[in-house]
A = this chain, B = another copy of it.
Amino acid sequence: MKLLKGDIVHAPALGALETIPDGALLLDDDGTICEVLHEQPQDFDGEVFDCTGKLIMQSFADMHLHAPQFPNVGTGMDLPLLDWLKAYTFPVEAKFADLSYARRVYRRLARDLIANGTTRVCMFSSLHTDATLVLMEELERAGVTGFVGKVNMDRNGGENLQETTEESIRETLRWLAECSRFTRIKPILTPRFTPACTDELMAALGKISAEKGLYVQSHLSENLDEIAWVRELHPDCAQYWESYDKFGLWKDRTIMAHCVHSDARERSAIRQAGVVVAHCPDSNINLCSGIAPVRQMLNEGLWVTLGSDIAAGSSLSGSQMVTMSIRASKIRRFTDPEKPAFLTVPEAYYLGTTSGHRYFGAGNGFAAGDRLHAVVVDDRDFTETPRALSLSERLERALYTMTAANVCAVWSEGRLVLDRRTAAPVRKTAARSRKLG
């Protein structure tokens, strides 16, 4: 057994925050949470990870990002979606035919995700099968878990960035056959979006999804031009989502990124199908797409998660993803005539952690029986406050101001995958816990 000691903050439900000062997580040898302890045990025999005075937070779950766009982070943010795809996105994605380039970029990406406390992802690769396998290798090596999808795109792609329908299907099957070697990264079917996939390809993916029991991720209603384009391509569909539904891709646990312009009818279809929304606030602002009606979605019972959506989002940081969702909800509050309530810090933290982790089968917050996914944040060097802050205030401050420099340990799937604590794990005999905060 192992013990992780520190100031615990987790979100067992939307809007609920449990804060446990000087608490501890009791772990199995394989890193499974046995119990969340409100008092530290007096006589403990196993290994102790003493993070006293530091924040033990849930790690972040980034439910929508594009791995091959990582080199574009922070550049080319001056165009709307469809122009931006052509000018910036497709050219960089085409480079991933080069596997050594892919290896270097994806190794850095995986390292940076962990360094920022993100341990679970739903990620788009490019259409390149081999680079996708490289991506999965590098994520697994760094300790990032979750789903990765080889992109399918047999129309309206970029130069050197389009498959034939037959190629796309064949490569998807080849990729899936190779995926059996991964243990913590699983495949997810990834038609890029309706305008990039022919009906024949969509139908084939629907069939593969049903036969192999695979989940699906794609994009939905990000931008008005895109919606109009889908309407032209599928005049028989009253709404964008039906272009996925038609081919068996609109179903339980399908992840749809954005949903900025999803109206009541489309939101109802999302809820009824069990589709999961990946809300990407920074991306939606940067590309002038709009702001998704997240409060309405939550009120209506939709499953909402968060995504960084790099490189339309400008940061890989899970904490910035969370705080940008708060900002977006505030903008919605002062621009939407219905003045929806903005997201509170506990709500946004839940969306960026528990809500995403549940997609991978996790329970609520730090739940007994789950392998630990946690980030330890050292906030002791933050500005001196005039009074001691509560744990929920420290969480808020960490979310708004932390950088990778404050992350001192990360657990993913029960394993300690980043350890920047200066001291080695402290054994029971030496464990004279000193309050530092």
Contacts and interface: CB of A to CB of B under 8 A. Distances in A.
Interface of A: 70-78, 91-92, 95, 101, 104-105, 108-109, 282, 285-286, 288-291, 314-315, 323, 326-327, 330-331, 333-335, 342, 344-345, 382-386, 389, 393, 396-401, 403, 405
Q: Give the oligomeric copy count.
A: 2
Which secondary structure dominates chain A's binding surface?
helix
A385 to B, nearest CB: 5
A289 B77 CA distance: 25
Contacts of A335: 331, 335
12 contacts: A71-B384, A75-B397, A77-B345, A92-B385, A95-B386, A101-B386, A105-B383, A109-B383, A288-B333, A288-B334, A288-B342, A331-B331
6 nearest CB pairs, A to B: A74-B400, A74-B397, A95-B386, A74-B401, A314-B400, A335-B335
Given A71-B385, A386-B71, A77 B108 contact: no
Contact of A75 (B331, B333, B389): B389
A106 to B, nearest CB: 11
A252 to B, nearest CB: 32
A289 B326 CA distance: 14
Contacts of A73: 383, 397, 400-401
A344 B78 contact: yes
A137 to B, nearest CB: 18
B71 A285 contact: no
Contacts of A104: 384
Contacts of A282: 327
A61 to B, nearest CB: 22
A78 B396 CA distance: 10
A285 B330 contact: yes
A108 B74 contact: no
A289 B334 CA distance: 8
Contact of A384 (B77, B105, B397): B105
Contacts of A345: 77-78
Contacts of A396: 74-77
Given A75-B389, A323-B314, A334 B290 contact: yes
Given A288-B330, A344-B78, A403 B400 contact: no
A76 B390 CA distance: 11
A359 to B, nearest CB: 27
Contacts of A101: 384, 386
Nearest to A282: B327
Given A101-B384, A105-B383, A286-B327, 4 more contacts: A75-B400, A314-B323, A331-B331, A335-B335
A323 B77 CA distance: 10
Contacts of A105: 383-384
A123 to B, nearest CB: 16
Contacts of A385: 71-72, 75, 92
A108 B75 contact: no
Contacts of A393: 75-76
A344 B342 CA distance: 28
A334 to B, nearest CB: 5
A384 B386 CA distance: 43
A73 to B, nearest CB: 6
